[in-house]
Structure 1
Amino acid sequence: MNFDNNKLIKIIKFNLCFIITFIPSIMYLHLVEGGQTATELWDSFINLDFYSYYKMIFFLTASFFLLITFLKYVDLNGIKKTNYYLPAAVYSILAVLSSFRAEYKEIVIKGFPDRYENIFVLLGYLLLVVVAVNIVDNKKSFKLILKALFISAFILAIHGILQFYNYDLLATEFGRKLITPDGLDFFVDRLSFVGKKVIYSTMYNPNYVGSYTSMVGILALGLYSSSQKKNKLFISGILSTLLFSFLIGSRSRAGFMGFIAGTVIILYMQRQFLKKHWIRIFVIFTVFTLVFITMNARNLDEIFSDVLFPRTEQEKYLEGEILPPITEVSSEAGKLKLKTTEAEFEIIMASDQIEFLNKQPINVYNSKDEVKEIIFKGKQYLHHSFQINEKENYLIWNYGAKSAQFYYQDGQILMAGMHNNLYPLKKVESIGFKGYERLGSSRAYIWSRTLPLLKDTIFIGHGPDTYAMYFPQDDVIGKLKFFSNPEIIVDKPHNLYLQVAVNTGIISLLALLYLWGNYIFSSFVLYKNSDLSSWKNRLGIALMGAVTAYLVAGFFNDSVISVAPVFWIILGLGISLTILAKGN
């Protein structure tokens, strides 16, 4: 029985290593046949997916075997007693209830295109925590999991840095064949990261690279700054530098904010030790500075100004950063009104007439398609131009990089939105951030439209991965103002906490906040004056910093299958270590 038990533990540990090592790295094309509900929003029955679908498939497969083996382990050994199970159980139950109550059950089960965080994935995340708490309970086990993580992180960092300098293996003919089934090679040209000099790596979005590197980078930095041996100091220093380069290449402000937060935790918790070993901090931050400069990173002011010193649209306009803001887009009785802080247009739109009021335009007539190109004299009209087609009853307004198309149909003026569907010009409900909607690359706009959704998700959410179905996609005016494109689909809130609150409910969010907060607070109390000669204390501080970095980045990023499994395993390791450290 002992042999069987030891073998079982080894299998479980191998499974954890597989998840933490390979899930972020998986990248392979799959043509996903979407369901009817997702297709309504996505406007395509086939979703071309390189980054998320197979990560979801492999994660769920690994989670299934993890569950089976762990249940056998519990049968043989029982389960550790800890108060961390309660919030995890509350969240899991509410996620399941939200799934049963969900209107879009197909999305709940399959996941939304490009995301695929369905109910089974969410439950798999919590399983990782429980398994890590029970299985990883000695130095050898921690070392095994972390070695697997750092090997994966090293490979991803090298790939990302090469990608930044346009030497991406996946952009070569050999690389394309690695990630594309036979006969579908031409789809690789649609990879968005090729030649962009920004790191997407295998994670689809540079912001997700930011979440990953802030978390794993802080873990490596924490081990570097407290290392007791020269060889480990050197290795962790190299890895920290590579991961910092990975982060800078992603240009993710969210990731950088998380990295700063994690660094503060590390420096404070290790302050007594670092007073004697300050030279290593001086060296690593000198290297970080050189990396920052070498990779032609943006100014710190550009990275932090939005968060630390937010400015209104009007202030950004006066400082010359943006064109005069759009202040009004409305219609009444067949009259369209378009207004910025410098210019105003009133346009009559009828079934056989489109006419500008009180202005004399310069017309350029194109007889081929019966479109009139219209511009106006005057400095205030410099960035405005129009195209009208009276026969088809439409008008296009081009304003700098913004463009909007208006139609007159059935006695009302409509604007083209996503998939060229037509929507009435109406204001949607919003809460907060007025004048600051551009904050965080227009994240504040999304948040202001998301907050009103929470009144319906206090106890039960709309269902895992269903956020996009409830965001007011018909807010064409808001999208025009703050995204420059009324056709864009908002499929995520760019905020981990709002994502949870909408999908599985506010109470489920409170359960997670209690879980995370309890761990961070317990770690802070346990390690704040700890002796760093103990491996438990050194690793405990590094894990605490990593969790903090991810959660801070989560204010601007979402949970995603490329990164979240790594976070939940690290959280499980951190919780397990606090239990060990308390028991000495």
Structure 2
Amino acid sequence: MKIDIKTAKKINLLLILFIVNLIPMIIRFSFPMHKDATKIWGSFINIDFYSYYKMIFFLTTSFFLLITFLKYVDQNGIKNTNYYYPIAIYSILVVLSSFMSEYKEIVIKGFPDRYENIFVLLGYLLLVVVAINVIDDQKSFKLILKALFISAFILAIHGILQFYNYDLFATEFGRDLITPDGLEFFVDRLSFIDRRVIYSTMYNPNYVGSYASMVGILVLGLYFSSQKRKRLLLLGIFSILLFAFLIGSRSRAGYMGFIVGIFILLFMQRKFLKNHWQRIIVIFTAFSLVFITMNARSLDSIFSDVLFPKTETEKYLEEEILPPITDVSSENDRLNLATAEAEFDIIMDSDQIEVLAKKPIKVYNSAKEVAEIIFKGYANHSFQVNDQENYIVWNYGGKSAQFHNRDDQIFMAGMHNNLYPLVEAESWGFEGYERLGSSRGYIWSRTIPLLKDTILVGHGPDTYAMYFPQDDVIGKLKFFSTPKMIVDKPHNLYLQIAINTGIISLIALLWLWGKYLLSSFFLFYQSKLNSWQDRLGSSLMGAVSAYLVAGFFNDSVISVAPVFWTLLGLGISLNSIVEK
């Protein structure tokens, strides 16, 4: 079948339109099977609503996009640009890390709840290449942006309703809408989040933060630079809606990306805004009203943890946290547990468990199989002792840890109740600041030592969880609520790339992103925004920057990343038009 250039271009545009419009909104019940991930995930089956079918739709659309793009290139040729070099390097390293990976199934299928496999990562790059070559006129740009804005508008409305506990998907009609016939039984047993926070169709509020900050900055930039009064009003209302969407996510990463994006817009569009400063006052007043109305956290609590972090000791002294855990260790059958204000010496021999402390104790229910021990003066501490099965549970505030004696060695129950020795994992940096960014400091400190094995080639797409020290039960107990949790993501886009596809692949992407941002800066920083290219170019620069800043605290995810890579492709294409 022969396709002419115009038809091939239209099909390419239509497929990109589908990706940016539909993928963020897809939510559908599925239960894909996994084998390699079982030792971490704990089950062959993963009940998923938010990622699996997004991945399926994205790969299907990308397949047809590749075919029609090759048809287009065959007749029209391919644009000559240096951007292909970092794209090619990253693509090669994605393939190499996949080929050399120990976990081939995860590389091909993706990890549960994430599904960014090898084909998805290559699909992201395909989006950039197609956008560079096919989206080359104002009509094409408008078509893609309109599709994105329609999707963002629907998601924002749904998210705001969700924030006020009017979630469509929590209703019987909504559950039927996202569930295949015959599987209603599973959905009826699931509880949807109901705590005044927006997670929308993206599963995690942090991903909403990345999406809303990126698209919000794009719309805000077009609002700032709008030349028509009617469009100014519509873009202003849309900006307020997306800001409410962002605020409702309560994502500090999204907030920080949005704020950095605003500074970039104000600088890049300063010459135009000098004569139109009133629109800045209007929109920031509206933002303030939204912030107050939605009862968001104070600015101090949002940013102080990241910009002005406190040590564990400082947080304890200021009564922000319970006295931190200072020691969890054992020697033969003796277990030592210590916090900043208490210390317990526990003897766990083969037939009896004895808890020793400086202050007297009371024992309740001692006649029963499990005895509860309460310490006078230590209201946050209690123990449950089972002499018959030789284990003890330590409850400390909201934390809980279970210790077992096996052949005169003491273990702690970790993920899936597996028993792990009391050995702390290798760490680097963030000592005393492990709670930084909701304990991201802990995750990063345990992730950085893994980089020595991924300098050239990574462990494979989506394999991060398989290499994180999940057996670090002491670290998890100290800095999370339970040692049984699974760390399946680094909460950092750059560490995610460095572990999965290698440090050199990360350098390639930094080259790609840095080249685009520098190009945008030099093209538009003196602009008076007289052309549509200048107005859109500075807005796209702000949007890409917002996503990359949020990426310091968030990961790449199939719900959001296709939109980012499309906007990056649009920005590169637009810059090439302006350069000519």
TM over 0.5: yes
Q: Distance in 2 between matches of 1:61 and 1:192?
A: 31
- Does the CA contact (< 8 Å) of 1:166 and 1:194 recur in 2? no
- Does the CA contact (< 8 Å) of 1:34 and 1:45 recur in 2? yes
SS in 1 for 2:425: coil
Over 3 Å counting, the alpha-carbon distance change for 1:189 and 1:208 in structure 2 is: farther
1:27 corresponds in structure 2 to: 27
* 1:421-500 paired onto structure 2 within 5 Å: 421-500=418-497
Name the % identity.
Answer: 74
For 1:556, which of 553, 558, 574 is the aligned residue? 553
Q: Distance in 1 between matches of 2:74 and 2:189?
A: 49
2:5 corresponds in structure 1 to: 5
1:331 corresponds in structure 2 to: 330
Q: Distance in 2 between matches of 1:191 and 1:529?
A: 54
SS in 1 for 2:365: strand
Q: Which runs of 5+ in 2 are unaligned?
A: none
> Shift in Å at residue 346 of structure 1?
0.6
SS in 1 for 2:437: helix
> Shift in Å at residue 287 of structure 1?
0.2
- Does the CA contact (< 8 Å) of 1:29 and 1:49 recur in 2? yes
TM-score (norm 1): 0.98
Q: Write out per-residue CA displacement over residues 518-576 of structure 1, whole angstroms, 9 at most, x where no aligned residue.
A: 00011001100012110000000000000000000000000000000000000000000
> Shift in Å at residue 365 of structure 1?
2.1
Q: Distance in 1 between matches of 2:530 and 2:185?
A: 55
- Say which is worse superposed, 234-243 or 572-581, in terms of deviation: 234-243
Over 3 Å counting, the alpha-carbon distance change for 1:18 and 1:338 in structure 2 is: same
**How many residues get paired?**
579
- Does the CA contact (< 8 Å) of 2:271 and 2:528 recur in 1? no
Q: Write out per-residue CA displacement over residues 322-365 of structure 1, whole angstroms, 9 at most, x where no aligned residue.
A: 00000000001211000000000011111112112355421112
Kindly indicate whether residue 230 of structure 2 is the aligned counterpart of residue 231 of structure 1.
yes
Q: Distance in 2 between matches of 1:421 and 1:117?
A: 28
Q: Distance in 2 between matches of 1:357 and 1:205?
A: 43
The residue identity in structure 1 corresponding to 2:553 is F
Over 3 Å counting, the alpha-carbon distance change for 1:190 and 1:505 in structure 2 is: farther
The residue identity in structure 2 corresponding to 1:455 is K
Q: Distance in 1 between matches of 2:351 and 2:472?
A: 27
Q: Distance in 1 between matches of 2:307 and 2:66?
A: 44
Q: Distance in 1 between matches of 2:114 and 2:3?
A: 41
Q: Distance in 2 between matches of 1:364 and 1:513?
A: 60
Q: Distance in 2 between matches of 1:12 and 1:573?
A: 14
Q: Write out per-residue CA displacement over residues 422-450 of structure 1, whole angstroms, 9 at most, x where no aligned residue.
A: 00000110000000000000001000000
1:290 corresponds in structure 2 to: 289
Q: Distance in 2 between matches of 1:441 and 1:190?
A: 29
The residue identity in structure 2 corresponding to 1:110 is K
Q: Distance in 2 between matches of 1:45 and 1:3?
A: 44
SS in 1 for 2:274: helix
Kindly indicate whether residue 576 of structure 2 is the aligned counterpart of residue 567 of structure 1.
no
- Does the CA contact (< 8 Å) of 1:27 and 1:55 recur in 2? yes
For 1:504, which of 493, 501, 507 is the aligned residue? 501
- Does the CA contact (< 8 Å) of 1:193 and 1:200 recur in 2? no
Over 3 Å counting, the alpha-carbon distance change for 1:358 and 1:534 in structure 2 is: closer
- Does the CA contact (< 8 Å) of 2:399 and 2:477 recur in 1? yes
1:266 corresponds in structure 2 to: 265
Q: Write out per-residue CA displacement over residues 139-171 of structure 1, whole angstroms, 9 at most, x where no aligned residue.
A: 000000000000000000000000000111111
Q: Which runs of 5+ in 1 are unaligned?
A: none
2:361 corresponds in structure 1 to: 361
1:80 corresponds in structure 2 to: 79
Q: Distance in 2 between matches of 1:330 and 1:254?
A: 35
> Shift in Å at residue 189 of structure 1?
4.8
2:60 corresponds in structure 1 to: 61
Kindly indicate whether residue 235 of structure 2 is the aligned counterpart of residue 220 of structure 1.
no
> Shift in Å at residue 191 of structure 1?
5.4
Q: Write out per-residue CA displacement over residues 43-69 of structure 1, whole angstroms, 9 at most, x where no aligned residue.
A: 111110000000000000000000000
1:14 corresponds in structure 2 to: 14
Q: Distance in 1 between matches of 2:3 and 2:471?
A: 61
Q: Distance in 2 between matches of 1:571 and 1:437?
A: 33
- Does the CA contact (< 8 Å) of 2:343 and 2:357 recur in 1? no
Q: Distance in 2 between matches of 1:62 and 1:358?
A: 64
> Shift in Å at residue 183 of structure 1?
2.4
Q: Distance in 2 between matches of 1:392 and 1:2?
A: 73
Q: Distance in 2 between matches of 1:405 and 1:269?
A: 56
For 2:523, which of 526, 532, 535 is the aligned residue? 526
* 1:341-420 paired onto structure 2 within 5 Å: 341-357=340-356, 359=358, 360-368=360-368, 370-378=369-377, 381-420=378-417
- Does the CA contact (< 8 Å) of 2:455 and 2:504 recur in 1? yes
1:517 corresponds in structure 2 to: 514
1:143 corresponds in structure 2 to: 142
Over 3 Å counting, the alpha-carbon distance change for 1:152 and 1:126 in structure 2 is: same
Q: Distance in 1 between matches of 2:185 and 2:338?
A: 44
Over 3 Å counting, the alpha-carbon distance change for 1:312 and 1:110 in structure 2 is: same
Over 3 Å counting, the alpha-carbon distance change for 1:245 and 1:459 in structure 2 is: same
Kindly indicate whether residue 181 of structure 2 is the aligned counterpart of residue 179 of structure 1.
no
- Does the CA contact (< 8 Å) of 2:222 and 2:536 recur in 1? yes
SS in 2 for 1:328: strand
Kindly indicate whether residue 321 of structure 2 is the aligned counterpart of residue 322 of structure 1.
yes
- Does the CA contact (< 8 Å) of 1:454 and 1:506 recur in 2? yes
TM-score (norm 2): 0.98
Kindly indicate whether residue 542 of structure 2 is the aligned counterpart of residue 545 of structure 1.
yes
Q: Distance in 2 between matches of 1:228 and 1:87?
A: 36
The residue identity in structure 2 corresponding to 1:361 is I
1:99 corresponds in structure 2 to: 98
Q: Distance in 1 between matches of 2:38 and 2:127?
A: 32
Q: Distance in 2 between matches of 1:331 and 1:105?
A: 38
SS in 1 for 2:491: coil
